[in-house]
A and B are shown apart, each in its own frame.
Chain A
Amino acid sequence: MKRKIGLMLLVLVVACSSWVGFAFAQPIKIGVFEPMTGPSAAGGEMTVEGIELALEMKGEVLGREVQIIVVDNKSDKVEAANAVSRLIERDQVVAIIGSYGSSLSMAAGDIVNKAKVPTVGCSPTNPLVTLNNDYYFRVCFIDPFQGTVMANYAVNELGAKTAAVIQDVTQDYSVGLSKYFIDAFRKLTGDPNSIVEVSAYNTGDQDFTAQLTNVKNKQPDVIFAPGNYGESALLIRQARDLGIEVPFLGGDTWEAPEFLSIGGEAVEGAVFSTHFTAEAPVTPESDKFLAAYREKFGKEANAFAALGYDAYMLILDVIEKVGSADSQAIRDGLAQVEGFVGATGIITLDENGDAVKSAVINKVEDGKFVYLTTVEPF
């Protein structure tokens, strides 16, 4: 009997304390789904570094503590859908950040739309991520712009007349970006036959020699090969082994230390577009972010950390402006973002929820990413 009373008391105490906790210090929960393992792991990790830094710098809004919950989507579409479901149903987050990789974001799109939880992508660049989805936003530019930037570079800077494209057919990012590059390249050269070869591979492939041998035979002036940093680095390595000497161009996913370490000497001279570089800060917020990043990690920041930082800061800014941490209120606030000063630039979200921003072109030189130029939106 005594035992029973003791137990009841305990239950009562626990119930009370949790109720008291509920009334006073319920933190605002923001979910993060990013690839922490698998072929896109580096991208996810870099992004989360930026988000964590932002949390450290601004961990409170409306007098409430902010809590981030990071879930690994394992670079896998099915896992990405599971990850957001978990964030929404179990953790009951008010907003979500993620994900690196357009396919992963698209896998989550329907779920966040139905659950009406606003989601801000850091670096998914495929236009379909936010299209017809009122709850998906992003702080980066989209691929029609990125593809055109690289086609311009190929034609105007490198004087290329022909190009070959090697795409990862399992990544919406790669397929989309390739398409926009091809369209822009044909238009710029005025020659419908200027794309001499379009080859394909799958995420996770390690051997690209068959595709590259075919590409070599067509003798393009330049090769556009957007894809994961790991696969791309191996691909360029094998291309150099096969005696392909022409320049390689790619997209923002190449910005990862692994691209340099796996690619080694082979990736020297590779050129790609990205969102931001520590070499060319664009706003006062960039300087603030770069200094804080340097202090925390002891190295220069990358574009993905900057985008993660911006996504988090944008959500907090919106919560502050609308004065509520309610999902619907945050969504409505996000839909009206104009002139938000982020680390990667001034962010204004258009009717689709996409940011219109400048692109940075980087080149690999002496085993480092070197800033070439900035391209303003057309």
Chain B
Amino acid sequence: MGNLSMFLQHLTNGISLGSLYALIAIGYTMVYGILRLINFAHGDIFMLGVYLTYFGILYTSIPWWLVFVIAPAITGIIGLFLEKVCYKPLRDSPRITILISAIGASFLLQNLGIVLFGGRPRAFPVPRVLNHVVKVRGVSINVITFIIPVVTILLLVGLTYFITKTKTGMAMRALSRDYETASLMGIDINKIISITFFMGSLLAAVGGIMWGARYPQLMPLMGMMPGLKSFIAAVVGGIGNIAGAVAGGFILGLGEIMLVALLPRLTGYRDAFAFVVLIIILLVKPSGLMGQRETEKV
């Protein structure tokens, strides 16, 4: 194995991990961008999505590719309910109240997961098509590591189109500026917020499925670390900015892999790396790489 192919292998590994972070960060950043709400339960909705897929594949006769569509849809509906129960009653409260409610929702889902699914890990049934290895000039690539970036990019493009070009997307953007004015303009706020949450949770579930296919170990607390990392990715990219979230995800993933690969002594600080990046970004450019500076309204 030459040095070049070794580097290429590290690069591939990094892109694979980065695109996973990016994928989860998209949902995170979308909900924030529109509702100005950091949905801390995002990582746990991600976990629910993976478990739903797991049960769908193992306990129903539905073909796996259909489960990959149905499970995110159901997760989306769960997210929608979560908003109705945990966030809607607090819509007029200070932002910190909703944030605390989000943390509560996160703990609730985690512990619900432990009660319902048990503490022992389960093996994600990876479809055979997604799980074979291709070799390109000494670099081994599992098909799934190729699919994840493609899905991420497709979602990035699709979502950007949706938000900038469609009527619902326009309503979302209007809402992100000002609730009251938007509702005066005839926008049904509840409907738009529901759609936002549905989509955010659906994206979390898609990220979850990809994660499960890459790292097929399911645990009720599996959403915590990916949730935190993609939150950081979203902040690094400029929270609320979808392209920024994708960029942030790639930076984190590549950075993590390169840290372990090139400085093996620092492996123990792998998780800390993400937080160090977060601190640096917050110090140097608090609005994130691609975020817009918000002007204070007087």
Interface residue ranges, A against B (CB under 8 Å): 35-39, 41-42, 45, 72, 169-170, 199-202, 204-207, 209-211, 213-214, 216-217, 230, 233-234, 237, 240-243, 258, 261-262, 264
Contacts and interface: CB of A to CB of B under 8 A. Distances in A.
**Range of interface residues on B (Cβ < 8 Å):** 35 or more
B8 to A, nearest CB: 10
A39 B133 CA distance: 28
B149 to A, nearest CB: 15
B119 interface: yes
Interface of B: 1, 6, 9-10, 13, 16-17, 114, 118-123, 133, 135, 140, 142, 215-217, 219-221, 225, 256-261, 264, 267-268, 270-271
Nearest to A263: B123
Contact of A213 (B6, B114, B217): B6
Nearest to A218: B1
A204 B140 CA distance: 24
Given A214-B264, A237-B216, 15 more contacts: A35-B119, A42-B120, A204-B225, A206-B215, A207-B257, A209-B17, A210-B256, A210-B257, A211-B267, A233-B217, A234-B215, A234-B217, A258-B217, A261-B123, A264-B216
A242 B16 CA distance: 13
A241 B13 contact: no
Contacts of A205: 270
Nearest to B126: A264
A202 B271 contact: yes
Contacts of A210: 10, 13, 256-261
A277 B16 CA distance: 40
- Chain B CB within 10 Å, residue with most, of A201, A241, A258: A241
Given A37-B114, A207-B257, A258-B121, A217 B16 contact: no
A211 B133 contact: no
Contacts of A42: 120-121
Contact of B119 (A38, A169, A170, A237): A38
A258 B257 contact: no
Q: Closest 9 A-B residue pairs measured CB to CB?
A: A37-B119, A261-B123, A209-B13, A210-B260, A41-B119, A206-B215, A210-B261, A262-B123, A200-B267
A42 B142 CA distance: 28
